[in-house]
Amino acid sequence: MGGAVELNITSEPTGPEAPVQTDRPAHIPEKFWDADTKSVRTEALLQSYGELEKKVGAPKEEVQTPPAPEAAVEQTEAEVEEDADQKAAKAAADAAGIG
Q: What is the 3-state secondary structure (H, E, C) of 46-75?
A: HHHHHHHHHHHHCCCCCCCCCCCCHHHHCC
In a domain, 41, yes or no: yes
Note the pLDDT of residue 2.
61
Note the pLDDT of residue 50.
94
Note the pLDDT of residue 23.
87
In a domain, 25, yes or no: yes
In a domain, 43, yes or no: yes
In a domain, 63, yes or no: no
In a domain, 15, yes or no: no
- Radius of gyration, CA atoms only, the chain: 36
pTM of the model: 0.38
Domain count, the chain: 1
Q: Name the DSSP letter for residue 38.
A: T
| Containing structural domain, residue 48 | 21-57
Determine how many CB atoms are found less than 10 A away from the CB of residue 28.
14
Phi, psi of 20 (to 5 degrees): -80, 125
Answer yes or no: is pLDDT of 5 > 80. no
Model confidence band, residue 13 (pLDDT cutoffs 50, 70, 90): low
Q: Could you tell me if 20 and 35 are in contact, meaning their C-beta atoms sit under 8 angstroms apart? A: no
- CA 42 vs. chain centroid, Å, equals 27
